Amino acid sequence: MFIVFEGIDGSGKTTQSKLLAEKIKAFWTYEPSNSDVGKFIREILSGNIKVDDKTLALLFAADRVEHTKLIKEKLKEKDVVCDRYLYSSIAYQSVAGVDEDFINSINKYALKPDIVFLLIVDIEVALKRVKTKDIFEKKDFLMKVQDKYLELAEKYNFIVIDTTNKSIKDVHKEILEQYNKVYKQS
């Protein structure tokens, strides 16, 4: 199974995706990936390099082409759990003003996940959790991104989990229950 975790910064994706991957003995991966393109993207995200938002969308799509080859290879032998994938591009880049049809067209090689866990969180709680990332100036932007994620959740049937007032352990338990439910039906 190909399982994706989505959500805004501070929603708990990395924590929960790692816990699930460990529990079900899956290969854990993330985007932007650790490919050369992914590393270049992180240089841009750090503010050291400035690019147009459409260029950034193209770079995330390029990273995803490389990353999807790796995911397909790993899926031959085990489940894959991925911390961010296609829907991060649709949510973040469309809120940044990039045309959604354009984003979908440049990501036509992306895999369709078997499960997408969308972790949602109260924005103030998210800001406190990731204070080191000084994302305060992105507060309004992240609220719009979370709204876009919820729109996508309706459209693509994501499993939505609110992590705001739940411990890491309780969120993991809820995710595991949802995973087992889907696994039994597969």
Ligand X SMILES: Nc1ncnc2c1ncn2[C@@H]1O[C@H](COP(=O)(O)OP(=O)(O)OP(=O)(O)O)[C@@H](O)[C@H]1O
Task: Please give the radius of gyration of the chain, using alpha carbons only, rounded to the nearest integer.
Answer: 16
User: What does DSSP assign to residue 96?
Assistant: T
Is 8 one of the annotated binding-site residues?
Answer: yes
CB nearest ligand LXEULUCI: which residue?
92
Q: Is 9 in the site for ligand LXEULUCI (CB under 6 A)?
A: yes
Q: In whole angstroms, what is the distance from residue 86 CA to residue 107 CA?
A: 7
Of 78, 88, 135, the residue nearest 110 (C-alpha): 88
How many Cβ atoms are within 10 Å of 115's Cβ, its own excluded?
Answer: 22
Q: Is 171 in the site for ligand X (CB under 6 A)?
A: yes
Q: Is 84 in the site for ligand LXEULUCI (CB under 6 A)?
A: yes
Which region, judged by CB under 6 A, interacts with ligand LXEULUCI, from 20-28, 81-89, 109-117, 161-169? 81-89
**Binding pattern to ligand X, positions 130-169, x when CB under 6 A?**
x--x-----------------------------x--xxx-
Q: In whole angstroms, what is the distance from residue 27 CA to residue 21 CA?
A: 6
Q: Which one among 2, 3, 4, 13 touches ligand X, defined by CB under 6 A?
A: 13
* DSSP-assigned states of every residue in 122-170: -HHHHHHHTGGG--GGGHHHHHHHHHHHHHHHHHHT-EEEE-TTS-HHH
Q: Is 12 in the site for ligand X (CB under 6 A)?
A: yes
Size of the site for ligand X (CB under 6 A): 16
Q: Is 100 in the site for ligand LXEULUCI (CB under 6 A)?
A: no
User: What does DSSP assign to residue 119?
Assistant: E
SS3 label, residue 177: helix
User: What does DSSP assign to residue 83?
Assistant: E
Q: Which one among 32, 118, 120, 161 touches ligand LXEULUCI, defined by CB under 6 A?
A: 32
Site for ligand X, rule CB under 6 A: 7, 9-15, 129-130, 133, 163, 166-168, 171
